[in-house]
Amino acid sequence: MTTGSRDVVIVGGGIVACLTGYLLGRNGYKVTILEADSLGSHASGFAFGGLDPLTGVGIPFPLLEFSLWCYGRHRGLARELNDNTGIDVGFEFRDRLHLAFTQEEAAESKKNIEWMKDVGGFNVEWVDTKRAIELEPQVSSECIGALLEQSPGALEPYRFILAAMRAGERFGVELLQRRATGLITEGDRCTGVQLENGTISAGIVLLAMGPWTGLASEWCGVNIPVTPLRGQILRLRSENKALNMAVNYAHSYVATKTDGLIWAGTTEEEAGFDESTTSEARDSIMADFMKMIPGMDDAELVQQTACLRPLSADGMPIVDKVTGWDNLFVATGAGRKGILWSTGMAQVMFDLIDKGKSDVDGSDHLKLDRF
Ligand SMILES: Cc1cc2nc3c(=O)[nH]c(=O)nc-3n(C[C@H](O)[C@H](O)[C@H](O)COP(=O)(O)OP(=O)(O)OC[C@H]3O[C@@H](n4cnc5c(N)ncnc54)[C@H](O)[C@@H]3O)c2cc1C
């Protein structure tokens, strides 16, 4: 089977692909997204959905500006997607407490307050145990204080990816459920994509296969240093009151989501491309959850999910034209922050395809040739 020619073929149908497709479609490009599985069936559909531009790899340097740009875009985009599709992605502001249980943990958090409090629009301060419990009565009285962050955001990732795809479809973007197996090339040009059962011609090809993008290194002869990092989340039901705030401790977090369930995560596991859930992860997430919110000991496990983050060699995203190629692009590597960063990654990718450069704040830190 040979499918007709498209201006842009995007390999992979995660959130980065769907948002880029939407921007391209809205600007008149004929776009096809190739997705090997179902839409939202990997990390983009199963992430937690926290939008925190003040913490994580590369923040504050060199990605604070980029993270703030991404964060700033989410609110307007949520409205835009709702207008286009009727899907409410569940964007909301949600205050967050980062608990500390030891003096070392408290010192580590306090170190960051100095620069965080200068970031416009956010109030960040250290609160003692009494104040932390006033803010969220269910946090552990064993904590010795917490960093309070007002008001980062949150959304529902599955609704976000559905809305992004459906908005794209309104502008002619098509989703083909096909697995790509290679590139069709002529010299330094990519003329199409090889599928499991056919080919598709393309003016431009974008590789946005999340953690699988590293496998395309062989297709193009350029190292794209991205590997999978498994993360698991528990969805729990409790008769206790919903949590007022998101609560974090070390690399774990917990919040009441819009489905009324408590979502608790997470793990960071090098398990190759294995997306299975494990009892070890369940136990370690439950241990952190009980440490943060000890009163919720009635919590019943409703669902456990596991998926793979696309982790680049330095933990920061890669959004660039592929070195040595005329019309081959890559957008991947967002690790733990791909829902937050997806807005900026898609805008930078659109700009590079459309005009060869991007003015998005901090976009020069996303280049492939930094490796
Ligand atoms: C447990 C967990 C919690 C998270 N929580 C948050 C959070 O709170 N906030 C945040 O900002 N981020 C979070 N993330 C990170 C975020 O989910 C990811 O960074 C982001 O979803 C990656 O999006 P992507 O589009 O790059 O890749 P993916 O979502 O992995 O999409 C890639 C797609 O490409 C497809 N594909 C692969 N190979 C091929 C092929 N050959 N042909 C066709 N299709 C192919 C795959 O099937 C897949 O659907 C979390 C991740 C995990 C695992």
Q: What is the pLDDT of residues 175-193, one digit of tens each?
A: 999 999 999 999 999 999 9
Judged against a pLDDT cut of 50, whether residue 371 lies above it is answered with yes
pTM, two decimals, is 0.98
Residue 129, Cβ density class (10 Å: 0-12 exposed, 13-18 middle, ≥19 buried): middle
- The mean pLDDT of 24-50, rounded to a whole number, is 97
Q: What is the pLDDT of residues 295-316, one digit of tens each?
A: 999 999 999 999 999 999 999 9
At residue 92, what are phi and psi to the nearest 5 degrees?
-155, 160
- Return the pLDDT at 213: 98
At residue 21, what are phi and psi to the nearest 5 degrees?
-60, -40
What domains appear along the chain, each with residue ranges and CATH number?
2-86+157-225+313-370 (3.50.50.60), 95-152+228-312 (3.30.9.10)
In the beta sheet, which residues pair with residue 90? none
For ligand 1, what atom is nearest to the CA of residue 211? 30
Judged against a pLDDT cut of 60, whether residue 60 lies above it is answered with yes
Q: How far apart are CA 308 and CA 61, in angstroms?
A: 25
- For residue 140, how many other CB atoms are within 10 A of its CB? 18
Peptide bond into 60 cis (omega under 30): yes
Residue 18, Cβ density class (10 Å: 0-12 exposed, 13-18 middle, ≥19 buried): buried
For ligand 1, what atom is nearest to the CA of residue 334? 19
CA distances from 69 to 79, 124, 271, 318, 320 (A): 17, 19, 32, 16, 18
Judged against a pLDDT cut of 60, whether residue 260 lies above it is answered with yes
Cβ of 266 closer than 6 Å to ligand 1, yes or no, is yes
Query: What are the residues whose beta carbons fall under 8 Å from the beta carbon of 214, sequence distance 6 or more?
Result: 224, 225, 226, 227
Going by their DSSP bridges, the two strands 153-154 and 50-51 should be labelled as: antiparallel
Residue 3's pLDDT band, with cuts at 50, 70 and 90, is low
Mean pLDDT, the chain, integer: 96
User: If residue 232 lies in a helix (H) or strand (E), which one and from where to where?
Assistant: strand 226-237
Q: Give the CA count within 13 Å in the CB-facing half-sphere of 127.
A: 21
- Return the pLDDT at 151: 82
Q: Which tokens belong to 61? A: 């340097």
Cβ of 47 closer than 6 Å to ligand 1, yes or no, is yes
Ligand 1: centre distance to CA 107 (Å):
33
- Return the pLDDT at 4: 63
- The mean pLDDT of 31-54, rounded to a whole number, is 97
Best mutation site among 34, 269, 336, 342 for ligand 1 pocket (most ligand atoms within 8 Å of CB): 336
Residue 1's pLDDT band, with cuts at 50, 70 and 90, is very low
- The mean pLDDT of 280-292, rounded to a whole number, is 98
Ligand 1: centre distance to CA 43 (Å):
4
Residue 247's pLDDT band, with cuts at 50, 70 and 90, is very high
Ligand 1: centre distance to CA 242 (Å):
28
- For residue 183, how many other CB atoms are within 10 A of its CB? 22
Cβ of 212 closer than 6 Å to ligand 1, yes or no, is yes
* Contact (CB, 8 A) for 218 and 15: no
- Return the pLDDT at 120: 82
Q: How far apart are CA 242 and CA 255, in angstroms?
A: 8
Q: What is the pLDDT of residues 201-246, one digit of tens each?
A: 999 999 999 999 999 999 999 999 999 999 999 999 999 999 999 9
Judged against a pLDDT cut of 60, whether residue 40 lies above it is answered with yes
Torsion of CA 169, 172, 175, 180, to 10 degrees: -150
* Contact (CB, 8 A) for 273 and 319: no
- The mean pLDDT of 335-355, rounded to a whole number, is 98
